[in-house]
Amino acid sequence: MKGPVVVAVMDGVGIGARDDGDAVHLARTPSLDWLIAEAPFRLLRAHGTAVGLPSDDDMGNSEVGHNALGAGRVFDQGAKLVNAAIESGKLFEGDAWRSAIARVKQTGQPLHFLGLLSDGNVHSHIEHLFALIRRAAQEGVQNVRVHALLDGRDVPETSALTYVEMLEKVLAEIRTSGKDYRVASGGGRMKVTMDRYEADWPMVERGWKHHVRGEGRGFRSLGDAVETLRAETPGVIDQNLPGFVIVGDDGEPVGRIEDGAAVILFNFRGDRAVEISRAFEEATFTKFDRGAKPDVFFAGMMQYDGDLKLPAHFLVPPPEIERTLSEHLAANGVTQLAISETQKFGHVTYFWNGNRSEALAGETWIEVPSDTRPFEERPWMKAAEITDQLIDQLRTGKHRHARLNWANGDMVGHTGVREPAIVAVESVDLQIGRLLPVIKELQGALLITADHGNADEMYERDKKTGAIQRDEHGRPKAKTSHTLNPVPCCLYAPSAPELRFDETMKNAGLANVAATVLHLLGFAAPADYLPSLLTTSE
Ligand SMILES: O=C(O)[C@@H](CO)OP(=O)(O)O
Ligand SMILES: [Mn+2]
Ligand SMILES: [Mn+2]
């Protein structure tokens, strides 16, 4: 290939049922339609075991999707590794767990658990939390406090009370033995604590105030908080519930995080865990005024960043993703560009490179700042600006390989609002239309795919029958989470019309893309990479 080899990831654009809830189908997408009809096209698996998740009932997500794209192999991912470490008991034999228990036993301070309260299995799993809580009780920990982030993004949009009930039941059971196990604070995951890629530090600051300092509106219980806040803001979905603290009979917060305590962040996925971990760990911290930093033992479920060694203590070792496509290209002197907007910047850099935050030799990373307003109000997001810069960069001739992520299908898909999701997909298609002539002019190749579905299902479906679920007024129920659908994969390489996908390859997935990129760049893939999608008989 004379020109650059470009991989475009349309985040959250799967191939779905092509019905009334499928914004990818409903969108007018002349460029994608043309590629699907005229250029090499196939579907790729992007969920479950194809991306290292425990089962094929697990939807894909950006972390596992971009890890697979960038690593060319399938690694067991956080969800699966934590299950195994709990089952084997290894988690509880590790230094981090032992130190947390020892600390609170010595000081009498609570053991605090902070994380996303759902069974979404993208960032966390509620059963992991329960296993940790039960084990703490068995080991004689007297006080536990839970800081619960409400989901509605990886699970149905107003499902929080299901998880609240489950949690309260576990805590109540343990209290019967005279222990003091309670919820201490909480809030919607898109309002507090779980910001990523430094898009919105004030979100983390709000979370810090609630969880650590006990500041914020007080409620008597987690259920009371959810119900009252919902009643006050009709239509609000769980991910957007404001933060709060739980107060006791005396009106005082029941679970400030104070000197001598131990804190376990039970999310296993890194992107949205890095900032709050930094707030707990960094000696000098300038992102917001955190007040006096409590002297706590802090541990993450995993180590979230292999370059920064963040956090220092973790319960389960992360997947060892090594010899990535980027490393291979860097070692061969191939120049690479990675570009996206803030919300997905780390996806094409950190996740793509196996959860490492430092650029390799010959890599250029460009971040276009994202909006911080609701994405359904601006579904075009920064797709055009990303493409502007990408085209300028490609024309310099500096980059042999480029990868980009258009965030629209995913970020707008997560709002659960269908009309803007349609505009989101159309916005991406418009940019594809701009890119095609540039690829032709430079005699390069463009591989367009996605990391998982999202906008392809904007309505909840019945798990058994597949029928669209409706509320009591007959209106379809909005769906905010990712999907199990396969993703498209199209190749546009007008200067190499002989290139074809190997049609005999049946079960290909995202992890086959890395070898395909190497193939297009004229390199043999390492023997343990999943094979290139292209035929070799030309
Ligand atoms: O927003 C996120 O954190 C996840 C959903 O939990 O989406 P994605 O995997 O696409 O980044
Ligand atoms: Mn994604
Ligand atoms: Mn998403």
pLDDT of residue 466 exceeding 90, the answer is no
- pLDDT at res. 537: 60
Cα(522)–Cα(532) distance, rounded to whole angstroms?
Answer: 12
pLDDT of residue 538 exceeding 60, the answer is no
Ligand 1 close to Cβ of residue 290 (< 6 A): no
ipTM over 0.85: yes
Q: Please choose, from the candidates 514, 530, 485, the residue with its C-alpha nearest in 3D space to the C-alpha of residue 56.
A: 485
Ligand 1 close to Cβ of residue 272 (< 6 A): yes
Task: Reply yes or no on whether 62 is catalytic.
Answer: yes
pLDDT tens for residues 361-396? 999 999 999 999 999 999 999 999 999 999 999 999
Query: Which residue among 482, 484, 510 is best mutated to probe the pocket of ligand 1, counting the most ligand atoms within 8 A of its Cβ?
Result: 482
Ligand 1 close to Cβ of residue 407 (< 6 A): no
* Distances in whole angstroms, Cα of residue 309 to Cα of each of 282, 317, 386: 12, 12, 30
Pick the ligand that lies closest to the CA of residue 450.
Answer: 2
Half-sphere exposure of 137 (CA within 13 A, CB side): 19
* Distances in whole angstroms, Cα of residue 2 to Cα of each of 30, 440, 468: 27, 11, 48
Q: Which bin fits 532, alpha (ψ -120 to 50), beta or left (φ > 0)?
A: beta
* Tokens representing residue 149 in the block: 């982030």
Ligand 1 close to Cβ of residue 410 (< 6 A): yes
pLDDT of residue 165 exceeding 70, the answer is yes
If one looks up domain 5-76+321-521 in CATH, what number appears? 3.40.720.10
Which value, in Å, is the radius of gyration of the alpha carbons in the chain?
Answer: 23
Q: Please choose, from the candidates 483, 488, 484, the residue with its C-alpha nearest in 3D space to the C-alpha of residue 42.
A: 488
* Tokens representing residue 67 in the block: 């890890």
Give the nearest ligand 1 atom to 63 CA.
9
For residue 263, which amino acid is it? Answer: V
Ligand 1 close to Cβ of residue 151 (< 6 A): no
Q: Please choose, from the candidates 360, 358, 301, 369, the residue with its C-alpha nearest in 3D space to the C-alpha of residue 329.
A: 360
**Cβ atoms within 10 Å of 168's Cβ, excluding its own:** 17
Give the nearest ligand 1 atom to 194 CA.
3
Per DSSP (E only), the strands in 101-152 are: 111-116, 143-150
Q: Could you tell me the distance, in angstroms and rounded to a whole number, from the CA of residue 62 to the centre of ligand 1?
A: 6
Pick the ligand that lies closest to the CA of residue 64.
Answer: 1
* Tokens representing residue 48 in the block: 């479950």
Cα(408)–Cα(381) distance, rounded to whole angstroms?
Answer: 6
Query: Which residue among 122, 479, 483 is best mutated to probe the pocket of ligand 1, counting the most ligand atoms within 8 A of its Cβ?
Result: 122
Taking the domains of the chain in order of start, what are their residue ranges? 5-76+321-521, 79-316
299-321: average pLDDT: 96
For the chain, what percent of residues have pLDDT higher than 90? 98
Q: Could you tell me the distance, in angstroms and rounded to a whole number, from the CA of residue 245 to the centre of ligand 3?
A: 28
Q: pTM, whole model, 2 decimals?
A: 0.97
Ion ligand 2, residue ranges at CB < 5 A: 11, 62, 410, 451
451 touches 62 (CB < 8 A)? yes
79-316 CATH, one of 3.40.1450.10, 3.30.230.70, 3.90.78.10, 3.40.50.300: 3.40.1450.10
Q: Could you tell me the distance, in angstroms and rounded to a whole number, from the CA of residue 186 to the centre of ligand 3?
A: 22
Q: How confident is the model at residue 353 (pLDDT cuts 50, 70, 90)?
A: very high
Query: Which residue among 62, 118, 452, 485 is best mutated to probe the pocket of ligand 1, counting the most ligand atoms within 8 A of its Cβ?
Result: 62
Ligand 1 close to Cβ of residue 460 (< 6 A): no
Tell me what the pLDDT averaged over the chain comes to. 97
Residue with token string 């104070």 = 258
Q: Could you tell me the distance, in angstroms and rounded to a whole number, from the CA of residue 454 to the centre of ligand 3?
A: 7
Pick the ligand that lies closest to the CA of residue 122.
Answer: 1
Q: How confident is the model at residue 134 (pLDDT cuts 50, 70, 90)?
A: very high
Q: Could you tell me the distance, in angstroms and rounded to a whole number, from the CA of residue 60 to the centre of ligand 1?
A: 9
- pLDDT at res. 151: 98
96-113: average pLDDT: 98
* Distances in whole angstroms, Cα of residue 292 to Cα of each of 110, 206, 257, 287, 366: 18, 16, 11, 14, 35
Ligand 1 close to Cβ of residue 154 (< 6 A): yes
Q: Please choose, from the candidates 244, 250, 238, 304, the residue with its C-alpha nearest in 3D space to the C-alpha of residue 277.
A: 304
Number of residues written out for the chain: 538
- pLDDT at res. 536: 76
- pLDDT at res. 14: 98
Give the nearest ligand 1 atom to 60 CA.
9
pLDDT tens for residues 240-265? 999 999 999 999 999 999 999 999 99
